A and B are shown apart, each in its own frame.
Chain A
Amino acid sequence: MPENEKQLREVAEKLLIDKKVDLIIGYEKGTLPLRTRPTFIREPEETKRLVWNSRCENNLSFYLKTVKEKVGIVAKGCDSRSIVGLIKESQVKREDIFIIGVPCPGIIDKKKIEDILDGRELLEGVESDSQILLKAEGFEETLDQDKLLHASCRSCRHRNPVLYDTLMGKEISQPQTDEYSDVEEFASKQDNERWAYFNDETSRCIRCYACRNVCPACYCPQCFVDQSLPTWFDRTPHLSDTLIFHIIRTLHTAGRCVNCGACSRVCPMNVELRMLNKKTEKDVKELYGYEAGTDLEELPPMATFKIDDPQEFIK
């Protein structure tokens, strides 16, 4: 991965010098240990800020919604699928973006690190190959990065970007994954058990809307929660309203969610949102044979129909 980082900086610099793009959106080092964050670079000499490592967790494609310039964007597998989705829905023009694809073996989940440290603060993290050394007060341990991967990365089927203008390094191997085993296992529980689980999860939600704002698929100028005519939701965070917010958001992103995991990564209250999204993704695949973000030509499934769509559930 260090070679990818070096190549990334060179490519970005050249793009800016040749004026092929006005802006590069990538990752830079953050102000806390093992944090990276999005960065916006307009001058060629600033490209040395760019980094690429297993903590580049933000899905940068959501910035494409608001940026007006010609953009070079660093995209992992899942990000590239979000970009395909945005192009398909005419939110961004293909010719206005230059996709710098990076193959990604997975992103480390900082919440897992917090669990391991159990109350200690992470002071330093050093990556090497497929391992990571974690240092905290009175604690030093080297772990396999595999053990710390984010849940959405474990079931990733597109480690390599599906759409790109240039690729950093070479494509990496794509292991077979059983993506939906957790959804299937959950679905086999009793109704009341599942209901209790969702209520418990959403009881922590503070309605900060970070999940919605970070999602590339959520670009409505006025979100349904902000509407006052009609007032769908009260501002008071009733448990019922909060759960419904998440369900409706899942419905609105049905067939468009690429399971990048950004929503559950940004949640400050550790609400596991992906269970709903994965279920819908699975349904869309089973019912309509569609996978989000893989094909520029295919119409989004909820915006179209076939005469012989499954309807065994209809009387």
Chain B
Amino acid sequence: MKEKIIKKEQLGRWLEKLGKEYEIWAPVKKNGLVFFHPIKSAKEIYFNFLNSKKTPKDLFFPQSEVLFSFPKEEVEKEAETILPKSRIIFAIRPCDAKSLALLDQVFDSEDYRDPYYVERREGTLLVGMACTHPQTSCFCTSMRGGPFEKNCLDLLMVELGDDKYLVEAVTQTGKDLIGKDDPFEDAQGKDRERLAKVKKETEEKVKSKVVMEGLEEKLDKIFDSPFWDRIHQRCLGCAICTYLCSTCHCFALLDEKVNSGVQRVRSWDSCMFPGFTLEASGHNPRISNRERMRQRVMHKFNYFVKNFGETACVGCGRCIQNCPVNIDIREIIEEIKNE
């Protein structure tokens, strides 16, 4: 499909049409926070955002979900009722979309397909919004991503000037979202030129660069180094970095009693919690923040690479922005290199 243009004032019309068939999730602002929420009209969308506070990962991997419940007579699987209506996530950033490719490695692999995740993933379309204002904490370009990346998206929208968006189809499904009667025009040569210019400017704005080469090998060597004693001191041991991370996916499976029986619930867990590796005997192999911080870094930049061939980080910078004591993963990587 050739690139298309849609004027900003026409966006509402298109979304309204899509809203008949899909549930549309878009960024809204409430209580000072931007997060993805189902919308009824384009007026509710907050376009001025850098990135949402929480990642859209909980639309695929919710903070807690009931896998199945057992009433006294039988075990019922509740996978069939997971996604009643197909969804579109509108204005998702390319880094968050790329994180889904990483989560797919875990939840939708050859060996194992998690039906809850897969159902949501297959029933959700992603309309991305390119970043034209990357933050100082963004380092997506160092993580094989970028502000205009199309990985996992169905459509990519780019804001061109104050009055219009350029729209590129990435998949056939994305292309099908644009109907003949929808208010789109073909992009002109000057639009494409402007696109190339904005893309280049934006990629240059991502000033934060993290050199990933050799990191995995280096980490293999410094597992027992006193380097880790320095790094962990500030850490609170809360779960902010893990819960707000686009790619973190650790969870706990628990059986919880309810009036009608028992539910097996899967909910987010964090490797930074002291109890994460607490064993029934009382032994805890990761007894202090030192081991837990080391584990987090190793998992993302070494173990995941060994298992799946990619770093489990998309450079969205949420951990850096939200850590209460400003622990900066870029700094840690730099120090690892210098060790």
Contact = CB atoms under 8 A, between A and B. Distances in A.
Nearest to B256: A234
A121 B50 contact: yes
A26 B324 CA distance: 15
Contacts of A11: none
A99 B265 CA distance: 47
Contacts, number: 104
A119 B49 contact: yes
23 contacts: A30-B326, A37-B325, A37-B326, A37-B327, A38-B234, A114-B32, A118-B48, A119-B49, A119-B50, A120-B133, A121-B133, A137-B133, A204-B33, A206-B54, A208-B243, A208-B270, A210-B239, A213-B237, A236-B256, A236-B265, A237-B63, A266-B238, A270-B32
B75 interface: no
A31 interface: yes
Contacts of A207: 239
A81 interface: no
A249 to B, nearest CB: 14
B265 A40 contact: no
B287 interface: no
Interface residues of A, number: 39
Given A40-B233, A123-B136, A270 B331 contact: no
Contacts of A32: 136-137, 320-321, 326
A147 interface: no
A103 B321 CA distance: 28
Interface string A202-230: 00101111101110000000000010000
Nearest to B234: A38
B155 interface: no
Nearest to A36: B326
A99 to B, nearest CB: 20
Contact of A268 (B50, B53, B135, B237): B53
B58 to A, nearest CB: 9
A38 to B, nearest CB: 5
B244 interface: yes
A37 B236 CA distance: 12
B121 to A, nearest CB: 22
Contacts of B269: 235
Contacts of A209: 238-239, 273
Contacts of A268: 53, 240, 244, 322
Contacts of B267: 235-237
Chain B interface category by residue count: 35 or more
A191 interface: no
A26 to B, nearest CB: 12
Contacts of B336: none
A237 B64 contact: yes
Interface in A10-67: 30-33, 35-40, 58
B330 interface: yes
A207 B244 CA distance: 12
Interface string A223-251: 00010000000111100000000000000
B261 interface: no
A212 B237 CA distance: 10
B339 interface: no
Interface in B186-237: 233-234, 236-237
A111 interface: yes
Contacts of B49: 119
Contacts of B275: 226
Given A32-B137, A226-B275, A234-B256, A210 B236 contact: yes
Could you say which of A32, A36, A137 has the most chain B C-beta atoms within 10 Å of its C-beta? A32
Contacts of B328: 30-31
A266 B324 contact: yes
B234 A31 contact: no
B83 interface: no
A208 B240 contact: yes
A66 B172 CA distance: 56
Contact of A121 (B31, B136, B331): B136
Contacts of A38: 234, 325
Nearest to A209: B238
Nearest to A225: B275
